[in-house]
Amino acid sequence: MAEPGAKVVPLKSRRCPMCRSPAADRYRPFCSRRCADLDLGSWLNEDYRIASSEEPDAGPDEDEPGPE
């Protein structure tokens, strides 16, 4: 359902979310395969970060070096 009064944006005026260059039909919404890959990479990174952030942090006392 389109909102009433919403402007229809032609594809040609779309811009690459990565670098703001005009998007290419072939790689939309990106301007190039490079930007599409970058976006995919950022998604993967985010996913990885979320997964690895579940690691519990070691307490500051745990890693304390003993006195000599």
| Contacts to Zn ion by CB under 5 A | 16, 18-19, 21, 31, 35
CB-nearer residue toward Zn ion: 34 or 48: 34
Compute the least distance from the CB of residue 29 to Zn ion, in Å.
9
Shortest Å, Cβ 58 to Zn ion? 41
CA gap 18, 60 in Å, rounded:
39
Give me the least distance between CB of 36 and Zn ion, in Å please: 8
Nearer to Zn ion, 11 or 58 (CB): 11
Distance CA 46, CA 43 (A): 5
Distances in Å between the alpha carbon of 40 and those of 1, 13, 18, 56? 28, 22, 11, 27
| β-bridge mates for residue 32, sequence order | none
